[in-house]
């Protein structure tokens, strides 16, 4: 039986234990691994692995010994409760073993949870699961999670008290980050706000979100965009002492000003434009960038990008000009282009 993306979203929270098997397939191994773990944890409960109710069978063994899978499904455990047999990395070559196991499966046997890579519509393995009445085939694709899925993940991480802005930031993160990075970020936020009595704020999210640039680099780029030319010199000296590559610094500054220019030229409000940016912009940094967009305007931001591109070309050329000093002069020049 084939499950649509809409039906599959709720299936992982309330799996049908009357079926013999579930196949998870798709191009992204990380997404499949996370879904597989969530499904097995839901089927077995918190102590399933400790109670030896989870068995693993190597997919390569199914070619040499097709009966090994059926034996594992029908084996009796020492502890009561649902049992699961996990087989990862299935291919079309194992289809006959799977079909035999599905035909001989009976109520009370273990549930087979299987994973595979990308399978096209002609795949024999995929057809075996989707055509069987006692099995499910679920495609896992790189679609961003819906708001309902994100809310479910927040509940599992015990993150239930968020301000509206923080909730919007979480949704933005969920749609921009890889599933593994997003899951780790939620865990980090949960630990960071463990003893916090107030609702989780945008600042809390910003503190725990993956860093786009180094903090010291971000400071000098922010001062440049804010027009604080007097602070750029000392900041650059500290970066030089830390061994920061001026080309890397110029690339980071160019990325920031491109984001500002893109939002300023979008024809939408700065807040809406930044909400669609990749990587995501949220929290206090979003407020800072909104003020920068309003202070600069699209035309001056385009001029600033021109200076940054010239600086980048100079840094990559064979000229013998001192790289850090030239970058510092360019940054000061750009900061003075912002209207006071």
Residues 193 and 266 placed together within one structural domain of the fold: no
Residue 321 counted as domain residue: yes
Neighbours of 293 (CB within 10 A): 25
Residues 43 and 126 placed together within one structural domain of the fold: yes
Residue 188 counted as domain residue: yes
Residues 222 and 295 placed together within one structural domain of the fold: yes
Residues 246 and 165 placed together within one structural domain of the fold: no
Instruction: Label residue 24 by pLDDT band (50, 70, 90).
Output: very high
Mark residue 2 as left, alpha or beta (left: phi above 0; alpha: psi -120 to 50; beta: remaining): beta
Residues 127 and 78 placed together within one structural domain of the fold: yes
Element (DSSP H or E) covering residue 241: helix 232-241
Residue 340 counted as domain residue: no
Residue 177 to residue 245: CA distance in whole angstroms: 27
Q: How many domains does the chain have?
A: 3
Token pair recorded at residue 191: 């630990």
- pLDDT computed for residue 86 by the predictor: 93
CATH number at residue 96: 3.40.50.300
Whether the pLDDT of residue 303 is over 90: the answer is yes
User: Across-strand partners of 112?
Assistant: 21, 85
Report the candidate in 189, 182, 90 with the shortest Cα–Cα distance to residue 145: 182
Residues 35 and 17 placed together within one structural domain of the fold: yes
Averaged pLDDT of the chain: 86
Whether the pLDDT of residue 212 is over 60: the answer is no
Terminal C-alpha separation, the chain: 65
Neighbouring residues of 250: CB distance < 8 A, sequence distance ≥ 6: 308, 311, 312, 315, 327, 330
Residues 170 and 281 placed together within one structural domain of the fold: no
Residue 310 counted as domain residue: yes
User: Which of 163, 193, 208 delimits the end of a domain?
Assistant: 208
> pTM (2 decimals)?
0.60
Q: Determine the structural domain holding residue 315 and report its residue range.
A: 215-335
Residues 11 and 97 placed together within one structural domain of the fold: yes
Q: Across the chain, which distance is largest between two alpha carbons, in Å? A: 78
């Amino acid at each position: 039986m084939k499950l649509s993306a809409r039906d599959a979203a709720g299936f992982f929270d309330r799996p049908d234990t009357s079926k013999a098997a579930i196949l998870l397939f798709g191009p992204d191994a990380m997404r499949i691994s996370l879904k597989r773990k969530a499904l097995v944890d839901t089927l077995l409960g918190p102590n399933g692995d400790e109670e030896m109710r989870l068995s693993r069978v190597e997919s390569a063994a199914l070619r040499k010994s097709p009966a090994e899978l059926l034996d594992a499904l029908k084996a009796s455990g020492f502890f009561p409760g649902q049992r699961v047999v996990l087989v990862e990395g299935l291919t079309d070559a194992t289809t006959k073993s799977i079909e035999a196991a599905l035909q001989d499966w009976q109520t009370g046997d273990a549930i087979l949870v299987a994973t595979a890579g990308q399978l096209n519509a002609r795949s024999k393995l995929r057809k075996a699961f989707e055509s069987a009445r006692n099995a499910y085939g679920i495609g896992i694709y790189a679609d961003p999670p819906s708001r309902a899925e994100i809310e479910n993940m927040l509940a599992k991480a015990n993150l239930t008290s968020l301000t509206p802005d923080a909730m919007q930031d979480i949704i933005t993160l969920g749609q921009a980050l890889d599933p593994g990075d997003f899951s780790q970020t939620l865990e980090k936020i949960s630990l960071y706000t463990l003893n916090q009595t107030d609702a989780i704020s945008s600042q809390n999210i910003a503190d725990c979100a993956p860093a786009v640039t180094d903090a010291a680099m971000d400071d000098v780029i922010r001062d440049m965009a804010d027009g604080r030319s007097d602070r750029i010199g000392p900041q650059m000296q500290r970066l030089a002492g830390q061994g920061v590559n001026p080309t890397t610094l110029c690339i980071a500054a160019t990325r920031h000003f491109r984001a500002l220019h893109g939002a300023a030229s979008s024809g939408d409000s700065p807040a809406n434009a930044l909400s669609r940016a990749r990587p995501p912009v949220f929290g206090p940094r979003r407020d800072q960038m909104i003020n920068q967009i309003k202070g600069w305007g699209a035309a001056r931001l385009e001029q600033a990008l021109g200076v940054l591109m010239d600086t980048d070309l100079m840094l990559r050329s064979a000229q013998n000009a001192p790289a850090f000093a030239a970058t510092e002069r360019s940054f000061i020049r750009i900061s003075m282009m912002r209207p006071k």
